[in-house]
Amino acid sequence: MSEGFRLRVCFRKTGRLRFLSHLELARACERAARRARLPYAVSQGFNPRMRVSFGPALPVGTAGEREYLDLVLTRYLAPEDAHGALTSVTAEEIAPVTCAYVSPGEPSLASALTIAVYDVYVEGGISPEELERSLGALMDAGTLHIEHKGKPKVFDLATALPKEPKVESEGESVLVRMTVRMGEHGSLRPEVLVSAAAGRDARLEVNRTDLLIEDEGVWRRPL
Amino acid sequence: MTDLWQQVAPLLAQVERPSRYVDREWGASHRPDAAYRVALMYPDTYEVGMANQALQVLAARLASLADVMCERVFVPWIDMSALMRAESVPLFTLESCAPVAECDLLGITLPHELACTNVLEGLALAGIPLRAIERREQDPLVIGGGPAAHNPEPIAAFFDAILIGDGEDAVLEIVAAHRAARDRGASRAETLRDLATIGGVYVPGLYAPGPDGVLLASEGAPDRVVRRVVRDLDVYASPTCPVVPYADVVHDRASVEVLRGCSRGCRFCQAGMVYRPVRERSAGTIVRDALAALACTGYEEISLTSLSTADHSQLEEVLRRLSRRLEGTATAISVPSIRVDSFSLGIARLLGGGRKGGMTFAPEAGSQRLRDAINKNVTAEELLATVDAAFGAGWRRVKLYFMLGLPTETDEDVAAIGDLVSRVLESARGATPPGERGGVRIAVSVSTFVPKAHTPFQWDGQPSRTEVRRRQALLCAHMPRKGVELSWHDADTSFLEAVIASGDRRIADVVEAAWRAGARFDAWTEQFGLRAWLEAFAECDVDAEALASEPRPEDRALPWEHIDSGLSRAFLAAERRRAESGETTADCTFGDCAGCGVCSSMSLDVVLAGGGRHV
């Protein structure tokens, strides 16, 4: 199979479309590429498919400001033209942010993107000071025990959180800014940590603001 | 209009599949300043309703009116409706997230009998009085239409008006009449009298039962409501920019209706009777609309839909042209409802492309005697030859539809289904290379006969539930095990369908009582419970067993006597006689006029893509 031209698209998942599942979002992106009449490459075999791959999935309800996909094109198209074509056929809430070509040899998004930056908005009466204290206590304990799909799971917070979470006051709600390292064996969901600190009744809104590649200790955006 | 989004959004974190409720799909149209607002509701979930082509057609027709807004409404799943009730959030349209009750017109499609409690669920959540007679001047007009409208009486009380037949033109006329009435300050009652003058529109409130039970029209309304029929489908473009859902809906693909109607004349089949005559769209417009729909939606599959797509006289040409145009785009073409007798391997190859999914045939009965009685003009040999060709060409899976409880059915006919499946299996294995025979699968789906209005079997009864279960057990005993996946429709569900399909006005009380007892989403196996219904029958003093099972005398008026589908009573009765004597009737598309009465009474004719009839 020819290598083609690997177009990396940064897009968002915001507003009411944060309620899409990863599968729904992926399908929407593929259909947008078709509507945009991008010269997309197709896999060989009995069930030919568009050659597209995505970065780490976002849960239903979580927004993302800089999400990524790689789409293989059969011929070169100026990135600004691809961007324009995609923008004109996509709902504003999941519109492309920017796009550019990457080398065919570049590692896949799923394996390269290991750092995720989140804003977690907390509503439900807890003060920034209280939240900071209980987060601090969790960090001091060093590990977080949770149950995921009925199975106990333990996170080592020093590994999972390469930076200390920061608590800020944001209008009516409290904002927790946190950076999470995504591992091969699952990554810590920010809402799990924050609700452990803020209590089950707190209402959370999660926004993944950035996805980064960690390259010899240096963090950089994939575009 | 009120925007309910701020109340809806907090609920979405607590429900399954929130994308059902958020709108913002590609193709969704927003006209906040429209002077007239229509809500179109499908009485089931988003995933089921988004697949409905009739709603897409109506939405496209309404969108042609510049100052009219047309928004989608679905019935929220039980988790969402519980939250909406707890938080006092009324039923909302998707596009504007506005209360349905603020619209001028609420159109509800009636896809089948089991959707009737969901109609009430929708009305109740919207805060619209359930019965037309209770509605106030400010309430939207509630108008129904669709397949289950052909016997409207069981749900008539809940509708201000019901459209019988094709909606392409009627929907525009209804909107125009309502706007004109509103502009001159007409009352609700006056508006409904205006609507009753539109062809195909039934206003139940203008009809009352006479001494013999037949519904009589009051002044100004027609004695019989004549089904609306569009003469030539090619005049109407197929909707090319329907809303593209994010959620994984039932038929998640673009579609083009290639023909309407089917005159093969299966005697149990309501669709084959009430959508006559056959009207084909031409190859040119089908290809044009299919490509336009793919370009506008970005779908990866185009479906050529109809009651019997393989019957289209230019199907091979359509498939050839489409596959040439779609080469290299990883776009699939699908043809649902392929028939044994009109199937050709050429079509199968054109369709299969790379993918070889399942293939579906509906022999309906196991014995030739019963197939003749129901006028299913297909032989076991034709079926076996088709299976042989398909498996030889690489298919490994076929689905067969059968029906139990058909009039004249005997135990021998039931056992014959098992024999036919054995022969199909044998033929499929024989055509498959030895190493791959383990993968051969025959899915057998068995439904239960439901007598339907406007069919030759409308006077027949359905066997009792006990008898249906006995025949199911008998069938199971005669069915080969290995390589066969057997499934059947629940006898309780089919019984309820039979009661509603042949019911009269008294059934409205039953539907309401069942809904009040918690019945809704009756078409969902895990939600359906017959108990609420049995209690409702008892409460309303309705002998449901008799309604479902007892034959109706031919000399007595039927509950749908005032609905004129165009079919002559004499034709239907003659077809019933022919069923008893095992005589078949040829398809009028291919041969002589069978005298059903539709073309003669409505001055219509069969429309074939190439012009003329292919005799």
In chain B, the residue whose alpha carbon lies closest to the alpha carbon of A206 is B13
- Residue among B26, B46, B396 with most chain A CBs within 10 A, to mutate: B26
Q: Is residue B567 part of a domain?
A: no
Q: Is B313 helix (H, G, I), strand (E, B) or coil?
A: coil
Residues A155 and A209 in one domain: yes
Q: Which of A106, A135, A157 is the last residue of a domain?
A: A106
Q: What is the pLDDT of residues A76-96, one digit of tens each?
A: 999 999 999 999 999 999 999
SS3 B332: strand
The least confident of A38-47, B58-67, B471-480, B522-531 is A38-47
Indicate whether B249 and B288 sit together in one domain.
yes
Residue B603 belongs to what domain range?
A: 230-355+585-615
For chain A positions 70-99, those within 8 Å of chain B (CB to CB) are 89-91, 93
Whether A60 sits inside 8 A of B18 (CB atoms) is yes
Interval B81-112: pLDDT, tens: 999 999 999 999 999 999 999 999 999 999 99
Q: In this complex, do B5 and A28 lie within 8 Å of one another by their Cβ atoms?
A: no
Is residue B612 scored above 70 in pLDDT? no
Confidence of residue B343 (pLDDT cuts 50, 70, 90): low
A93, closest residue in chain B (CA to CA): B24
Q: Quick one: pLDDT at residue A47?
A: 78
Q: Which of B390-394, B461-465, B509-513 is predicted least confidently?
A: B390-394
Are A135 and A100 in a shared domain?
Answer: no
Residues of chain A found within 8 Å of residue B17, distances taken between Cβ atoms: 21
Asked which of A82, A106, A130 is the last residue of a domain, the reply is: A106
Q: How much of chain B is helix, strand and coil, in % rounded to 5?
A: 40, 15, 45
Is A140 inside a domain boundary? Answer: yes
Distance CA A50, CA B303 (A): 19
**Using a CB-CB distance cutoff of 8 angstroms, which residues of chain A are in contact with residue B356?**
46
| Region at B337 (left for phi over 0; alpha for psi -120 to 50; beta for the rest) | left
Contacts of B13 in chain A (CB under 8 A): 61, 203
At a CB cut-off of 8 Å and minimum separation 6, what does A198 contact?
A: A122, A124, A126, A131, A134, A174, A204
> How many CB atoms are located within 10 Å of the residue A142 CB?
10
Q: Residue B614: its pLDDT value, please?
A: 43
Residues in chain B closer than 8 A to A207 (CB atoms): none
Whether residue A107 is preceded by a cis peptide bond, meaning omega within 30 degrees of 0, is: no
> What residues in A contact B12, CB-CB < 8 Å?
19, 61
The answer to whether residue B130 sits within a structural domain is: yes
Same domain, B219 and B292: no
Predicted confidence (pLDDT) at residue B337 exceeds the cutoff of 70: no
- Separation CA B516–CA B130 (nearest Å): 11
DSSP string, B235-292: GSPPPSS--B-SS--TT-SEEEE-EE---S--TT-SHHHHTPSPEEPPHHHHHHHHHH
The reply to whether A99 and A69 lie within a common domain is yes
Test A93 with B299 for CB contact under 8 angstroms. Answer: no
Chain B: closest CA distance from residue A150 (Å): 19
Cβ contact A47–B355 (<8 Å): yes
* Cα–Cα nearest to B61, from B167, B137, B156: B167
Q: What is the CATH number of the domain that holds B344?
A: 3.30.750.210
Is residue A223 assigned to a domain? Answer: no
Q: How far is Cα B377 from Cα B277, in angstroms, rounded to an integer?
A: 19
Please give the residue range of the domain that contains residue A58: 5-106
Asked whether residue B495 falls in the same domain as residue B606, the answer is no
Using a CB-CB cut-off of 8 Å, the residues of chain B touching A61 are 12-13, 18
Comparing CB atoms, the residue among B13, B23, B354 nearest residue A61 is: B13
Separation in Å, CA B544 to CA B519, B560, B583 = 17, 18, 32
Residues from chain B that touch A34, judged by Cβ atoms under 8 A, are 294, 298-300, 329
Domain presence at residue A222: no
Place of tokens 């209590």: A199
- Residue A166: CA atoms inside 13 Å, Cβ hemisphere, count? 9
Q: Do A61 and B246 touch (CB under 8 A)?
A: no
Over the stretch A94-137, which tens digit does the pLDDT of each residue have? Answer: 999 999 999 988 999 999 999 999 999 999 878 999 999 999 99
Task: Collect all residues of chain B within an 8 Å Cβ-Cβ radius of residue A35.
Answer: 26, 295-298
Q: Which of A59, A142, A151, A49 has its CA nearest to residue B330? A: A49
Cβ–Cβ of A27/B246 closer than 8 Å? Answer: yes
Q: Is the CB of residue B329 less than 8 Å away from at least one CB of chain A?
A: yes
- A25 contact B CB<8A: yes
Indicate whether B526 belongs to any domain.
no
Distance from CA of B7 to the nearest CA of A (A): 13
How many structural domains comprise chain B?
3
Hey, is the C-beta of A32 within 8 angstroms of any chain B C-beta? yes
SS3 A147: strand
| Confidence tier at B344 by pLDDT (50, 70, 90) | low
Interchain pair A61, B12: CB under 8 A? yes
Looking up residue A146, the CATH number of its domain turns out to be 3.30.70
Interface-testing mutation among B243, B246, B249, with chain A (most A C-beta atoms within 10 A): B246
**Which of the residues A19, A31, A62 would you substitute to probe the B interface, choosing the one with the greatest number of B C-beta atoms within 10 Å?**
A19
Predicted local confidence at residue A194, as pLDDT: 94
Contact between A42 and B19 using a beta-carbon 8 Å cutoff = no
Q: Is A33 on the interface with B (CB under 8 A)?
A: yes
Mean pLDDT to the nearest integer, A169-198:
89
Q: Which residues of A touch B22 (CB under 8 A)?
A: 16-17, 19
pLDDT score of B615 = 40
Residues A37 and A71 placed together within one structural domain of the fold: yes
Residue A49 has pLDDT above 50, yes or no: yes
3-state secondary structure of A210: strand
- Tens-place pLDDT, residues B184-231: 999 999 999 999 999 999 999 999 998 888 899 998 899 999 999 999
* Residue B235 sits in the same domain as residue B378: no
CB of B393 within 8 Å of a chain A CB? The answer is: no
Q: How far is A23 from chain B (nearest CA, A)?
A: 9
Number of structural domains in chain A: 2
* B71 and B90 both lie in a single domain: yes
Cα A206 to Cα A189: distance, rounded to the nearest angstrom: 10
Flag whether B492 is in a domain: yes
* Distance from the A13 Cα atom to the nearest Cα atom in chain B, whole angstroms: 12
Do both B239 and B122 map to the same domain?
no
Residue-wise pLDDT for B303-313, tens only, equals 999 998 888 99
The interface predicted TM-score of the complex, written ipTM, equals: 0.91
Share of residues in chain B with pLDDT > 90 (%): 86
What's the rounded mean pLDDT across residues B475-495? 95
- Per-residue pLDDT tens over the stretch A138-153: 999 999 988 878 888 8
